[in-house]
Amino acid sequence: MAANGPQRPSHVRAPVRRGPTARRVALLGGTTTGADCALALWHLLSRRALIEGPALARYEQSFAERIGVRHAISFASARVGFYGLLQALGVGDGDEVLLPVPTHIVVANAVRYTGARPVYVDCDPRSYTMDLSQAEVRVTPRTKMLLLQHTFGIPSEMDAALALARRHGLHVIEDCVHALGARYRGRPVGGFGVAGFFSSEETKTISTTMGGMVVTDDAGLAESVRAFQTRCAWPSRRLTTGYLLKLVVYHVLTQPRVHGGARWAHEKLGRRNPLPRATNEIDRSGGRPPHYEQRLANAQAALGLRQLERLDANLAHRRRVAARYASRLSALGFFPPSWPQEAHPALVRYPVRVDDRESVIEALKPIVGLGTWFTSVLEEADSPAHGDYEVGSCPTAEDVARHLVNLPTHQRVSDRDVETIVAALAAVAAPAPAPIGRARPA
């Protein structure tokens, strides 16, 4: 390392070295198949049913059945679905919404677009879900909604959350963007509150490149959200084409044998990458992008429907990988996430607290792309202040955002990959200090 560069802490050893054709596990890409790519290309080449078509209704029905509710309404992204829910529930000027941190800037943005105020609530340092004792303290007469984020696919303590909401007359919305397939007391998350919303953006459990779904058992609420959906614009052919091409490109370039070179090229391209992005400069600065209210395209719904059919195998693999990470890392002194005894997580990524995140990411680059949910209490925000967050108000979440790395759990992660990743992590990293929290061990 150059003398004028950052110095590696004493506990971090030399970076892992691998050859140019060595296997490198990507953080994402393991949810799609060659058949998914063929379907995407068919839609692109035939141009039939690209934007509107029958797959949308089938996808919504299948999604509702999977969650165990009567209604599912699709959108271009989860953030748009959440915004539609806020409007349907009458959230607006002068209202307050309790939001957990760490979360993503687009969640806070959706609240702010209605004129309501996000009130941030700290997290439990072991489960990364909302600290409900602090949530109770932050309720005011203006509080209208409690948003529960099932972070990394770890269910919140739903019994306690629903009891809190009843005491204060609050709507409960479940943020399930990480948590498709997670369960609480044997029931899928998303069906406990008045509504929930899910994401099928490329980093999530299933991928339509971008996409979101609102679910509810409330017929009146579903009618209002459906009316909002009809007011949303259809995506352009150009944007939908970009999403389908991105799915195909990412499927190929995240193959473990080519991902090392592909990732290097991706990083060199930086913001010159022509493929569509999930967020832009306007999102990151807390503004409202043009063409925000959009629907999901039929071709994307067709891809989501295929992946829902494979969801059980997808989840079984992720749970097996997460269990192996937990077993190996616990033995090495790292602190695994924990959750309520009633919960059955579906970990879209496996979170690990390390002492020096930047050095660990750099050292493990040759073998695995580590995730960085969350580098801020409001992920991807240019500054948390853009989401009206006050520094110091949620110290646990701020500490978490300094120490987390995420390990991949998708279906391209083999048992040998788990052993290699854990051994490399143990060789270069020291655990972060032990968290103090109330979540019960898994």
The DSSP output letter for 385 is: G
Give the tokens for residue 116: 């309501």
Domain with 40 in it:
34-231
Q: What is the structure's pLDDT at 293?
A: 98
With respect to residue 3, please indicate whether it lies within any of the assigned structural domains.
Answer: no
Residue 327 lies in a domain: no
Question: Where residue 121 sits, what CATH number does that domain have?
Answer: 3.40.640.10
Spatial CB neighbours of 230, under 8 Å, sequence gap ≥ 6: none
Task: Count the domains in the chain.
Answer: 1
Domain presence at residue 223: yes
**Residue 363 vs residues 201, 379, 429: alpha-carbon distances, Å:** 28, 23, 9
Question: Which DSSP category does 15 fall into?
Answer: P
With respect to residue 197, please indicate whether it lies within any of the assigned structural domains. yes
The Cα–Cα gap between 143 and 95 comes to 6
pLDDT tens-place values along the chain, 442 residues long? 333 333 334 444 555 655 545 789 999 988 999 999 999 999 999 988 999 999 999 999 999 999 999 999 999 999 999 999 999 999 999 999 999 999 999 999 999 999 999 999 999 999 999 999 999 999 999 999 999 999 999 999 999 999 999 999 999 999 999 999 999 999 999 999 999 999 999 999 999 999 999 999 999 999 999 999 999 999 999 999 999 999 999 999 999 988 876 565 555 555 666 788 899 999 999 999 999 999 999 999 999 999 999 999 999 999 999 999 999 999 999 989 999 999 999 999 999 999 999 999 999 999 999 999 999 999 999 999 999 999 999 999 999 999 999 999 999 999 999 999 999 999 998 888 766 554 444 4
Query: Is 105 among the domain residues?
Result: yes
Structural domain includes residue 39: yes
Model pTM? 0.93
Any idea which residue has 């295929």 for tokens?
Answer: 306
Domain membership flag for residue 93: yes
Residue 222 lies in a domain: yes
Residues sharing a CB contact under 8 Å with residue 64, sequence separation 6 or more, in sequence order: 70, 71, 72, 215
